[in-house]
Each structure stands twice: as structure tokens, then as C-alpha cells.
Copies of this chain bind each other. A is one copy, B any other.
Amino acid sequence: MPAKDIFHEPFVLALIKDGWIVTADPLTIRILDADLLIDIGAERMVGAERDGQRIAVEIKRFIGKSVVQELKEAAGQFMLYEEALKRVPAHVDRVLLLAVRLPVYVSLFENGIGKILMESHKLRLVVFDSVKEEITQWIPANVTRKS
């Protein structure tokens, strides 16, 4: 997998159009693992802020491999990063979101197996149109304050 995939730039542009200031690209979270500092997040996470609200967004591709497999990875990553963010004073106020493209959202989260994770409110999503470079939906809808 490339360090930054083809959906990274369209998503960042969509965020900027939506009024966000991108403050970290990539955003790295450092946590202590058995007395060793390790970096999680790596090249796929973006940090942004708007009106004093700060977010950390993990951009997921969902292409290739099995969709169920990718969903597991994305959900587990979300769980792990969410706990990691809580433990780092510099990031504790960041709201974590998973960025997914519109067709992925429709097929996987609105109608597919990912629906059970949305119904149980386990994930927060930012849905974007990678062609128009626009944010189409925040889930839950009130996850960010309006600018």
C-alpha cells in the first residue's frame, strides 16, 4: 500500500472546503507500549480544527481485499486509536472519525454489514465525495459543531 493513497488529497481538500484548517498531515499519536514509545496512526491520519473543535480523521480506502476484512481492521483501528487519543494529553480533546467515500458508505455502512456497527453507534464517520472533493455527511450528524 502506498504511503498516501489517491483518496487522501481529495479528502483533505474536501475538509478545507468545509471550513476546516488542516493542522497535521499526517497526524501521529505516540503512546507508550511496554515502555517503548510507538507511533500509531502513521500516514493515513489527518488532524484538523474549526471553531476551536479538533478532529482526528483516519482515511480508509475499502478497496481490494475482502470488504469484511477491511471493515474489521477499520473498526479495530478506530477502537484502538480512540483509546490511544484519550491517553495523550495533546490529543485528548480530538474527536476521532473514519473518512469513507460515498459509494463505500452506501454499500457497506448504509446497506451492508457495516450497518450493525452504525446502529450500535460504535463508529463515527465523515463521508466524502472523492470526485467533487466535498464532505457529504457527518455521522452522527451532530458530531461537529456548525461553523
Contact = CB atoms under 8 A, between A and B. Distances in A.
Interface of A: 31, 33-34, 38, 40, 68-69, 71-80, 83-84, 86-87, 107, 111-113, 116-117, 119-120, 122
A80 B87 contact: no
A83 B117 contact: yes
A79 B75 contact: yes
A83 B116 CA distance: 6
A147 to B, nearest CB: 31
A28 B69 CA distance: 16
A122 B79 contact: yes
A73 to B, nearest CB: 5
Nearest to A119: B83
A69 B42 CA distance: 12
B79 A33 contact: no
A73 B73 contact: yes
A69 to B, nearest CB: 8
| Interface-centre pick from A31, A38, A80, A112 (highest chain B CB count, 10 A) | A80
Contacts of A77: 72, 76
A78 B74 CA distance: 12
A112 B34 contact: yes
